[in-house]
Amino acid sequence: MSRLFLVLLLVGCFALPGQSFGAERRENVLAGKRLFNSYCMLCHGEDGRGGGPLANKIKLKSPVADLTVDKYQQMSVEKLLLLIEGYNRKETLMPKWEKIIPEKNLRSIAGYILMFTQKDLRMRGDARRGREIFRQSCVACHGARGKGNGVLAQVLGVKMIDYTSRSLSKITDEEIITTITNGKGEFMPSWSGTLSSEEIKDVASYIRTMFGK
């Protein structure tokens, strides 16, 4: 029994740093993202700063709250959930979500809101969607496994980073996004006209997820 306990303890220790990246948590965050974009984005904006299309359209009596400020970002999920659910100040356009969306889903939304200032690309993007984009637009050069040996790379005779190697860990998340957005060097195309900023985040997230951090 004591050996089992030790094993559990060790597993617990090693699981801890990666906990925020656990599969279940990730699913919830992604569900929260979808819900947020359906129900909240109109007013709060895709980035949560309060500049959604509806907020700009109608003259709101009170400005839409910026959900990326410390006041909200440092709240626990529970506290934020209460604000979203039981929000009942008079004369505001912020709906009382308690009666509209089941609590389980509101909890996912709250979890997602708390990711707004999260820096970890693997959480910020949707790697599953990113994989589809990568397969469609990037493999010709970067290769199916991201090793930098796609057919086009061989034809053009260009060298690029092997994503499966450690070298990618020297590049920051922002650099990855900037390179995909603006292109780099002679052959890495700019994708800003082809992919939305959301899709760029997704494919960057996939690169990080698959090829090490």
- Under DSSP, the state recorded for 65 is P
Distance, CA of 97 to CA of 90 (rounded, Å): 15
Residue 66 CB, nearest distance to ligand HEC (Å)? Answer: 9
Instruction: Assess contact for 94 and 39: CB atoms under 8 A.
Output: no
Q: Applying CB under 6 A, which part among 13-21, 23-31, 117-125, 172-180 lies near ligand HEC? A: 172-180
Binding mask 59-98 for ligand HEC (x = CB under 6 A): -x-x-xx-x----x-------x--xx--x-x--xxxx-x-
| Binding flag, residue 191, ligand HEC (CB under 6 A) | yes
Query: What's the rounded Cα separation, in Å, for the pair 32 and 125?
Result: 13
10 Å CB burial of residue 69 (0-12, 13-18, 19+) is middle
For ligand HEC, give the closer residue by CB, 29 or 84. 84
Q: Give the CA radius of gyration of the chain.
A: 21
Residue closer to ligand HEC (CB basis): 12 or 119: 119
On whether the CB atoms of residues 146 and 212 are closer than 8 A, the answer is no
Question: Which residues lie near ligand HEC (CB under 6 A)?
Answer: 39-40, 42-44, 54, 60, 62, 64-65, 67, 72, 80, 83-84, 87, 89, 92-95, 97, 109, 137-138, 140-142, 152, 158, 160-161, 171, 176, 179-180, 184-185, 187-189, 191, 203, 207
